[in-house]
Amino acid sequence: MEERSSFSGRLGFVLAAASSAVGLGNIWRFPYLAAKYGGGLFLLVYIILVVTFGFSLMVAEIALGRKTGLSVIGAYKKLDKRWAFTGVLSAIIPAIILPYYCVIGGWVTKYLATYIQGAGEMAAQDDFFTGFIGNTVPPLFWMSLFLLVTFVVVLLGVKKGIEMASKFLMPLLILLVVGIAIYSLTLPGIWEGVAFYLIPDFSRFSISLVLAAMGQMFFSMSLAMGIMVTYGSYLKKSDDIEKSVKNIEWFDTGIAILAGLLIVPTAFMFFGGDAEKIQAGPSLMFITMPKVFSSMGGAGQVVGLLFFLLVLFAALTSSISLMETVVSVVMDRFGIGRKLACILVLVYLFLLAVPSSLGFGVWGFIQVAGMTILDLFDFLSNSLLMPLVALLTCLFVGYAIKPSAIAQEVQLSSQFKREKMFVVMIKYVAPIFVVGILISSILNSLGIITL
Ligand code: PHE
First to last CA, the chain: 51
Distances in Å between the alpha carbon of 360 and those of 62, 363, 372? 38, 7, 7
Is residue 1 scored above 50 in pLDDT? Answer: no
Pocket-testing residue among 154, 221, 222, 319, ligand 1, by greatest number of atoms within 8 A of Cβ: 222
For the CA of 24, the nearest atom of ligand 1? 12
Angle between helices 386-395 and 430-445 in degrees, nearest 10: 150
Cα-to-centroid distance, 178 and ligand 1 (Å): 21
Contact 234, 4 (CB under 8 A): yes
Cα-to-centroid distance, 219 and ligand 1 (Å): 6
Closest C-alpha among 245, 267, 197 to residue 44: 197
Nearest protein Cα to ligand 1, atom 8: 318
Cα-to-centroid distance, 298 and ligand 1 (Å): 33
Cα-to-centroid distance, 319 and ligand 1 (Å): 7
54 ligand 1 Cβ < 6 A: no
What's the whole-number mean pLDDT along residues 148-170? 74
Contacts 24+ apart (CB under 8 A), 25-28: 25/216, 25/219, 25/220, 25/256, 25/318, 26/220, 26/252, 26/255, 26/256, 26/259, 26/314, 27/177, 27/255, 27/256, 27/259, 27/285, 27/311, 27/314, 28/104, 28/108, 28/282, 28/284, 28/285, 28/311
Is residue 379 scored above 90 in pLDDT? Answer: no
Cα-to-centroid distance, 24 and ligand 1 (Å): 7
Cα-to-centroid distance, 403 and ligand 1 (Å): 26
- Residue 277 binned pLDDT confidence (cut-offs 50, 70, 90): low
Pocket-testing residue among 322, 325, 377, 385, ligand 1, by greatest number of atoms within 8 A of Cβ: 322
316 ligand 1 Cβ < 6 A: no
User: With DSSP H G I counted as helix, E B as strand and the rest as coil, what are the percentages for the chain, rounded to 5?
Assistant: 80, 0, 20
Closest C-alpha among 54, 397, 398, 15 to residue 235: 15
Q: What pLDDT was estimated at residue 6? A: 62
- Residue 160 binned pLDDT confidence (cut-offs 50, 70, 90): low
**If DSSP codes are grouped into helix, strand and coil, which group holds residue 416?**
coil
Is residue 158 scored above 80 in pLDDT? Answer: no
Angle between helices 338-358 and 84-116 in degrees, nearest 10: 70
For the CA of 227, the nearest atom of ligand 1? 11
Q: What pLDDT was estimated at residue 359? A: 84
Q: What pLDDT was estimated at residue 67? A: 93
Q: What pLDDT was estimated at residue 371? A: 80
Average pLDDT, rounded, for the chain: 87
Cα-to-centroid distance, 448 and ligand 1 (Å): 32
What's the whole-number mean pLDDT along residues 298-302? 84
222 ligand 1 Cβ < 6 A: yes
What's the whole-number mean pLDDT along residues 7-12? 72
Is residue 378 scored above 80 in pLDDT? Answer: yes
220 ligand 1 Cβ < 6 A: yes
What pLDDT, in 10s, does the model give residues 171-185? 888 888 888 888 888
- Residue 2 binned pLDDT confidence (cut-offs 50, 70, 90): very low
Closest C-alpha among 173, 184, 305, 330 to residue 252: 173
Is residue 448 scored above 80 in pLDDT? Answer: no
Cα-to-centroid distance, 48 and ligand 1 (Å): 20
Cα-to-centroid distance, 26 and ligand 1 (Å): 9
Distance CA(259)–CA(27), nearest Å, equals: 5
For the CA of 21, the nearest atom of ligand 1? 1
Distance CA(162)–CA(220), nearest Å, equals: 19
What pLDDT, in 10s, does the model give residues 253-276? 999 999 999 888 888 887 777 766
Q: Find which of 59-63, 163-167, 290-294, 442-446 is predicted with most confidence, using mean pLDDT.
A: 59-63
Contact 259, 29 (CB under 8 A): no
Is residue 370 scored above 80 in pLDDT? Answer: no
26 ligand 1 Cβ < 6 A: yes
Longest dimension (CA), the chain: 62
Q: What pLDDT was estimated at residue 451? A: 62
> Global pTM?
0.87
- Residue 4 binned pLDDT confidence (cut-offs 50, 70, 90): low
322 ligand 1 Cβ < 6 A: yes
DSSP string, 17-49: HHHHHSSHIIIIIHHHHHHHTTTHHHHHHHHHH
What pLDDT, in 10s, does the model give residues 36-61? 888 899 999 999 999 999 999 999 99
21 ligand 1 Cβ < 6 A: yes
